[in-house]
Structure 1
Amino acid sequence: MVEPAAESYRYHSQGFDMTGALQPFGGRRMLRSSHAIAGALVIVAAACSQSNPITIAHTPTPLVRDSIIVTVINDHFYEARVHAVYGQGLRYPLGVMGMKRENGPFTIPWHIEELAFEIDMITISGRYVSDEIPVQPGDLVELRIPPNISSSAFFTAIRQE
């Protein structure tokens, strides 16, 4: 008869069998860790739901002189066409952002005016503009398009023409 390897015993002692399926033994320790993980996920979800959809990382030395770098994370279920818009109407197309994924990075020229983003949802009718944000040369800007953009306090719906 072949004895089980020490490695298989370690898996058993942690509450898993050889296939990785959870076993009923080890109960209280696993129950406590499950509650801790669930609690941590609730805290992270609450923090994410209240966060600003634009994050700016200031770099001490610009990566690209007189430019900023933009990454767009589209959490929406539809594709979106995004433009970077400066205060006096300068528009820079960033392109069509794929749904449920990170797009970019995109390098756009820096201007002294504040920056906003115009988002045109492709499949559904909806055009939105973000609040304006101040940016400096070399900033790394992350724009997150939320799945509930129509009820977002950061994005304002603008009329389709």
Structure 2
Amino acid sequence: MTTDQTTHPEMHHGGGGGNQERAASIANDQQLAYALLRCALGTAFLMHFVPRLFGGIDTFAENMVKDFANTALPALLVRPFALALPFVEGILGVLLIAGFRTREAIVAVVAVMLLLIFGSSLQNGWQAVSIQLLYVLLAYILLAQRSASNTLSVDGLIARRNAKSSQQA
């Protein structure tokens, strides 16, 4: 038995059908892995929103203005960004968890991360930049795999319904 057959004995049937079952199992694993990664990134974004909501958005914004006081960014730009950021993070988190408008949500995640990387760089916050780059890497993986693996999602459900409707027409 091969390693794959030992790890997944249910896929070893001896005969031609095993290859189809193995391919289906691999596809299901890829779809599940994609959904889990998408939900993990979505949860991370959503959980940036929740404590800021209950801790006070104004407090968060004031702290961010203080954090940027010694940078080239004026409070006039920092404060509105800080007030909007938690809501943007929350919306993107929900969209990613649900898998709705996934492509647009992933692109928006990268846009937010670019802004955060810019701000962290102004503060010489290289540890934060490193973490932010990991978020960008996760977004890249999700975007690169989206068309083949985003079936366990609202987008996947809509695509299946549209395909079924077009077949019936």
The structure with more radius of gyration: 1
With the shorter chain as reference, the TM-score category is under 0.3
Between Structure 1 and Structure 2, the one with more strand by share is 1
TM-score of the pair, normalised by structure 1: 0.27
